[in-house]
Amino acid sequence: MSDKTDEKRAKQAEAKAKKEAERAAREKAKRDTIEVKERARREVEEAKERAKREVEEAKERAKREAEEAKERARREAEEASRARQAEAKAKKEAEQTIKELIKREAEEANRAKKAEAKAKKEAERAAKEKAKIDAVRARENAKREAIETKERSKREAEEAREKAKREAIETKERSKREAEEAREKAKREAIEAKERAKREAEEARERVKREAEEAREKAKREAIEAKERAKREAEEAEERAKREAEEAKEKAKRDAIEARERAEKEAEEAKRAKQAEEKAKKEAEQAAKEEEAKKEAKDKAKAETEGVLKAELYEGMVKLVIASPVNLDEIRQLEESLRQVQDLRLVLVGSSVEEGTKIIVSAENRIPLINILNEIPTVEQAVKKGKDIQVTIRANQ
């Protein structure tokens, strides 16, 4: 009946272990599948975020490049404006130079007229002082000099006007040419900047488009890979769960067999233990009876011995032989106890390999020394041994 019950319990334990293993395997496979799907979803999300970030970065880069191109065009336009201002300034300076030359010519003419008048006055004054001929000659000379001075001043003024006119024309032509060149350069550079900005913007758009396409393709590839990996991991998890279920089933089967064998073994051991217990109980009862008998005999012998010893009194020198084993602390405690006994004096404490430890005491009056020794707490037993007393020290608990 007991074997059938144990077998039934073992089968139930095996079925329970099998169910537990199958449930654990299913739970683990479910968790693994959820983790794989979650990881795949996270990877797809990360790929999308990465693609979005790359597109945003490309847009920002294109925007920055367009801003730089616009700033470059603005600077080139400012340079063209400065060139136009330089042209206007050169034109204004040329006009100012012409005005100054005309003013200088007028001043030269005025000075010539003044010289002529001065010469005329000098001639008139010379004419009065000199002869008429000299006056005529002086007037002729003065007139000739005035004419020459006038002609020279006129000629110099004309040359200065021609030179100023030429320089003004050259300055104007040069300024016009430089302004034209600056305008052409600014125009060319503006067109080039515009074309470059357009080209860079187009390249940035193409790059953004290409990077976005690459990011989409990469995300698509990663999603496919994640899906394949998730599928593969799910299949592996399923295989692993199946394998673990089989292993759990085998383990449960082994555990059930071991449990059955262990139950049989424990039952056998329990049976042997019960038999041993009955035997030990009988032996203990027998030992208790024998011990009781021994105790009764010992108590009887002790009572007889104590009756004899109580009548024995000691006086003078007595040797106490301490039974081995014993240690120094126990001897010291015994010495202290002996010093407190009335009419007893401690004479000598010694020890040797042959005789062990011995204590010599001196009783000044007749005293029941053995009874006194047996009453000391550290003494287990004191008995007469020839002329000496053998003392057994109580073992420390």
> From the centroid of its chain, how far is CA 72?
45
Q: What 3-state class would DSSP assign to 356?
A: strand
Name the average pLDDT for the chain. 83
> From the centroid of its chain, how far is CA 151?
100
**N-terminal to C-terminal alpha carbon distance within the chain:** 52
- The CA distance from 53 to 212, in Å, is 10
- Residue 8: is it exposed, middle or buried by C-beta count within 10 angstroms (0-12/13-18/19+)? exposed
269-286, pLDDT tens digit by residue?
Answer: 768 867 877 886 778 678
Residue 326: φ, ψ to 5°: -155, 155
Query: Between vectors from CA 231 to CA 228 and to CA 237, what angle results, nearest 5°?
Result: 140
Q: What is the mean pLDDT of residues 123-137?
A: 74
pLDDT band at 131 (very low <50, low <70, confident <90, very high): low
Q: What DSSP letter does each residue of 249-317 carry, written as one string?
A: HHHHHHHHHHHHHHHHHHHHHHHHHHHHHHHHHHHHHHHHHHHHHHHHHHHHHHHHHHHHHTT--EEEE
| Pairwise pLDDT comparison (8 vs 57), residue with the higher score | 57
Max mean pLDDT range (3-7, 168-172, 282-286):
168-172
- The CA distance from 109 to 151, in Å, is 10
- Residues 6+ away with beta carbon under 8 Å from 75: none
69-122, pLDDT tens digit by residue?
Answer: 789 979 988 987 897 897 789 788 868 876 887 788 788 878 868 877 887 888
- The CA distance from 383 to 390, in Å, is 5
16-28, pLDDT tens digit by residue?
Answer: 888 888 888 889 8
Q: Is residue 17 a contact partner of residue 240, using CB atoms and an 8 Å limit?
A: no
pLDDT band at 309 (very low <50, low <70, confident <90, very high): very low
Per-residue pLDDT at 377 exceeds 70: yes
Per-residue pLDDT at 315 exceeds 70: yes
Q: Is residue 392 a contact partner of residue 380, using CB atoms and an 8 Å limit?
A: yes
Determine the pLDDT at residue 262: 82
Determine the pLDDT at residue 297: 55
Q: What 3-state class would DSSP assign to 240?
A: helix
Residue 71 Cα distances to 65, 67, 350, angstroms: 10, 6, 117
- Residues 6+ away with beta carbon under 8 Å from 310: 368, 371
Q: What is the mean pLDDT of residues 355-380?
A: 94
Match 């193409």 to its residue by tokens. Answer: 206
Picking from 83, 265, 107, 273, the residue whose alpha carbon sits closest to that of residue 179 is 83
